[in-house]
Structures are given as C-alpha cells and as structure tokens.
Amino acid sequence: MKKILGIFLSLTAVASIIIGCSKDQGNYDYIEINTLKISADMASADPAMFVTPDSIILRQNDSLKVKLKIDASIGAPGNLSYQWLITQYLQANANPSKYMISEAASLKTRITLPPNLYRLVARVTNNDTGVSYYKTFVLNVSGAEWGGEGWLVLQEQQNGADISVITTRDGGVKGKVFNNVYATMNGHKLPAGTFKVNVVNYATAINAQKVSFLYPNGGLQVRSVDFADSTRIENWFTPGAISSMNFQANGSAGGSGAGWEYVIVNNQIAYRQFQSVAHLANPPLFFPPYAGLTIAPYVINASTSDQIYTLYDRVNKGFVLFNASTSALVNIPAYAAATTNLNPVTGSGFDLKNMTDNMIYAENAQPMTASLAIYWNCFFRDDAGNNTYLVQFPRGIAYSNNFTTGRFQLKEANCPGINTATMFANPTFLSQPKGVFYYVNSNKIYTCTVNNLASSAATVGLTFPGGTVIKAMKIFNSGYTAANITALNVPEGKVLVVATDETASGGGNKVYFFNLNAQTGAILGSVSSPADVYTGFDKITDITFKKSLGR
C-alpha cells in the first residue's frame, strides 16, 4: 500500500511541473544589449605612427595620441568609462611596472618604455550594463633618435651637468642635436662636477652596452638606449670592498671580446665579466680592486683576449701584465736585448719593467677589434717636465721584453710645445709602427710625424681663435667589429673630433669634425672650414662616441 501511495505522489509532482511549464508563455522581458565596436579613428591618427589601424610604431619618448571610434549596435554608445593599458607582447615577459596609463576617452601620453614590442589595450566599459569591450593595438617602441648612434657631449651646468647627443657618426652626414637628454629621461641632472662620460661595449653576441658617468666620489651607469638611471657606483661592489671612490676610468675592449669590463678606482684596477644576457638584468659585482698595485689610469688591451691587461705601475715605473680571469699578475721577464738599445740618446729600445718616467697618456693606434696584437702609443714625461717621448709596441698576452725599437724622442726644437702638451690623439688607420699623432698646446693642435730617434717633427694643423680652450680631442673609433668596419665602409680612425670653449672670443662652445688625409694623416680643412661643426653647447667637459648595438 505504501509503495502504491509513493508512486501516486511522484506522478502528481511531475504533472504539476509539466502544467506549470505549459502555462509559462513569456513572463520575461528580453532586452537586446547595446554592443560596442571599437576601432582607431584614423582620420585623426598620425600616419607616421599608425602602420595599420591595429599597429603603431614610434620612438621612445615620442608623444602618442589615439582617438577611438565607437560604433553602437543600438543608438548612442551610452555612458562609457575608459582605461588604457600597456601589457607585454610575449607572455613570457613581465608587464611594465606602470601598465595602466590613462582613463581619458582619447589617449595622449609620452611613451617612455624601453625599446621593445608591447600591446596597447583600450578598455571601454558601458556603465549602464557593466559590460567591457576591448581594442588591442600592437605597439612597437624603437629607441629614441638620440638613443641610437652618435656623439655624447658632457657639459657643466648650473647645479649639475647633462649631456647632448649629436646624431652623426663621423661628420659625413649632418646630424641633429638633442640637449639635456639625461634630465629629460630622469627628471634630474647629473651630479655637479661630473667630468667623464664612457661608453662600455660588451661582447657583440649579447648585443649590449652601457654608458657611465664619473663624478667626484662616485659615478653611475645608465641604459644606452635612453640614458635612464641604471646602477650607482655604490652598488658596483660588495659592501665594504672600497673605502673611498675616486673613480678615474671605466671601459672595455668592446666588440667581439668575452665581455670584460674594468674600472680604475683610487689608482687600482677592478674588473667584472658580462658573459650573458642575464647579466644585463642582474649586473655582476666588480671584483675588489687589486691590492698592492698603483697604476696610471689606462688599460692596454684588445677585444681578443680582453681579460689580459697591460698596466703601468706608477710606483715602480714599469709595465705589468695582469690576467683579470685569474686575478693574478703574469710575469714579464728581465730585459733580454743588449743594454745599448736603452741609451736615451742613441738607442730606440725600452725595458717594459724599467721605464723610469711617468706615463701621461696611452691609446690604441689600431682598431681595438683588429687583432690581439694591436699597436698602442704610450707617452712619457719626466718629473721635471723637460723630456717627453713616445713608446710604441704591439699589445700582447705575453712579452719577451726584448724591444730594440719603438722609443721615439720628442724634442721641443722639432715638436713645439710638446713638453707642455695637454692632450694627445692617435689615428688608427696608418701602418705601424711610427705613423702620426696629434697634440694640443694652448689654442693649437699639432700633427707630429713619428721618425727615428730625435727626428720626429710636428707642424701646426689647426689654430683656434685666441683665448680658446680646447676641452677634448678624440679620434673617431667606432667600436665596430672588424667585419662591420669593412662591410659598412666606416672611416675608422680617419676623423678628428674637437670640443672647444671659445667664449673668450665670443664664439661659445663648439664641437668640430675634421677629416684626416687617408695617406698621411694630415688634418684636412681649417677651423673656418671643417667637415662639420655644432654650436650652442654649455661648457663642455668630455666627448665620446656611442655606436649602434650589434655593430
């Protein structure tokens, strides 16, 4: 009986459900939602930036304007709110630290992101329905024009310093000048007293470089593509590794080497190796400065075996060989040739371990990427300032120390003002040894032809207006690999770049480019007719060339 009653109640419940459903004949109001279709308003788009309606390409620090075109399926779009976001293009990458950039209906912003590929996303929300719609653009950010190849001009300014960038390689093509680039990117100036700008080119394979600035008791490195602050010098070493920070030089052999970078701090050598792309995100610390060795602020090396440094010991007045990869000195043997070669008047040889005088300047006389054994020019002067001479030798990773040639006497009678010369520069395209070099005395630049013993002779190559202070003189050394120097027809070492302070004569501060004779090295043109000249700078402190990545 209970079983029959249960079946009856179940059938009654099912019948009730069926009857209820049959009576539901439209008790609900169905409303069609107002859907939105979003696209770029190409009538107001910059055609130089919008490659297609869905793809944007611009330079870092360019201003971007995007106006949306919104079509509604029913009437007006309604009450809308907006968000503009920039996200990574590849899922493996992280989003930018600030990826929500605007809440305006039309986007107007300056793109400061590092060069890369991103997605620009417009999110439009219908506040009446709460439904959001999206429009995605491919955003290709390339380096700012001033973040590419060109000459960096460091200048003193009130309460600080900054740089200008001249976007020319060798003066052959007229470049643009971008001023106050560091402050534009970082919102503040370089520290007062900044005296040196360096370009550090790492191994070509990792496609990386840094720009560094040195100032009293410190320094910093910035990204080369936009000059954004990267690391300050106090973070280059483990805490307590150095007690004071008198930094004098920062560089590398660049090009195709293994990526060794050096700094000279407190007259000591410190070093680190950039081996991989991972080191770009997390730079390795420098090894502590090598103790017990006081050196001149020059590192003699080349892109091949760039961990081997030839250094000059200021205390013992001789060269030493140092292997950064093992943090150890490499023995240089005693002088192995006849001592008659060392006679200061009749000899032309030199003893690497016993030079007796002060090395005042050293620079490569062949491209750094040419070979292991490129020639270097080293200039020496005695304590009294009465005797200056040049020593030339091919850089090595080992030395027999038996040089019988390579020392050239520079006498005032043939080389006017050589004993008080303040700057030197060395072209890198002439056959070695000998060749020519340039030196500065007062408002003149001399070209000196190197000859045996005391027969080297100099003539005036350039005379600037009276009262001119020559602030910097550099040879165009590109840092390109040897293959690229040839393939791109680069005038390596064949351009002399000079920065001047001509305020005494009303000329202001200038940067000149002078071509050099391809056979003799003679300076072509004159102060009034250079290959090119740029004006309008503040007081110039230093200049250097920055190559494009990968070259």
Question: Mean pLDDT across the stretch 31-49?
Answer: 86
Q: Does position 24 have pLDDT exceeding 60, yes or no?
A: no
Q: Give the DSSP letter string of 167-212.
A: --SSSSSPPPEE-SHHHHHHSSPBPTT--EEEEEE--GGGT-EEEE
Give the confidence band of 12 by pLDDT, cuts at 50, 70, 90.
very low
What band does 396 get if pLDDT is binned at 50, 70 and 90?
A: very high
pLDDT at 25 (0 to 100)? 55
| Location of structure tokens 């420098």 | 286
With CA atoms as reference, report the closest residue to 208 among 151, 166, 141, 255: 255
* Range with lowest mean pLDDT among 21-35, 297-311, 373-387: 21-35
Q: How many helices (H) and strands (E) does the chain have?
A: 4, 36
Fill in the amino acid letter for 487: A
Distance CA 232, CA 274 (A): 17
- Section 316-335 average pLDDT: 96
DSSP-based helix, strand, coil % in the chain, nearest 5:
10, 40, 50
Predicted pLDDT of residue 27: 59
Residue, of 230 and 91, whose pLDDT is higher: 230
pLDDT of residue 535: 98
Average pLDDT on 434-458 reads 98
Closest CA to 545 of 256, 156, 169: 169
Q: What is the structure's pLDDT at 1?
A: 39
Residue 228 is encoded by which pair of tokens? 């954004």
Q: Which residue has the higher pLDDT, 4 or 496?
A: 496
Residue 232 has pLDDT above 60, yes or no: yes
Q: Which of 265, 274, 173, 108 is nearest to 491 (CA)?
A: 173
Task: State the pLDDT at residue 6.
Answer: 43
First and final C-alpha spacing in the chain: 97
Which residue in 529, 514, 444, 501 sits closest to 153, CA to CA?
A: 501
Going by pLDDT thresholds of 50, 70 and 90, the confidence category of residue 22 is very low
Residue where the block lists tokens 């020519």: 436
Greater pLDDT, 64 or 51: 64
Digit-coded pLDDT (tens) for 175-215: 999 999 999 989 999 999 999 999 998 877 777 788 999 99
Which tokens belong to 512? 């000149």
- In terms of Cα–Cα distance, which of 194, 258, 259, 201 is closest to 232? 194
Average pLDDT value for residue range 55-84:
89
Judge whether residue 381 has pLDDT over 60. Answer: yes
Query: Which stretch of 86-90, 215-219, 427-431 has the lowest confidence by average pLDDT?
Result: 86-90
Which of 35-49, 75-89, 269-283 is the least confident region? 269-283
Range 309-326 average pLDDT: 96
Say if residues 452 and 389 touch (Cβ distance below 8 Å). Answer: no
Give the pairing type, strands 55-59 and 131-142: parallel
Residues 399-420 have pLDDT tens digits of 999 999 999 999 999 999 999 9
The pLDDT-based confidence of 29 (bands split at 50, 70, 90) is low
Instruction: Report the chain's mean pLDDT, rounded to a whole number.
Output: 89
Range with the poorest average pLDDT among 124-138, 144-158, 253-267: 253-267
Q: Is residue 8's pLDDT more than 60?
A: no
What average pLDDT does the segment 488-500 reach? 95
For residues 404 and 421, give the distance between their C-alpha atoms in angstroms, rounded to a whole number.
27
Structure tokens at 387: 């005797």
Q: Are 37 and 124 in contact (CB under 8 A)?
A: no
Which residues does 434 contact at the CB level (< 8 Å), separation at least 6?
A: 392, 408, 449, 450, 451
The answer to whether residues 87 and 119 touch, using CB atoms and an 8 Å cutoff, is yes
Which bin fits 360, alpha (ψ -120 to 50), beta or left (φ > 0)? alpha
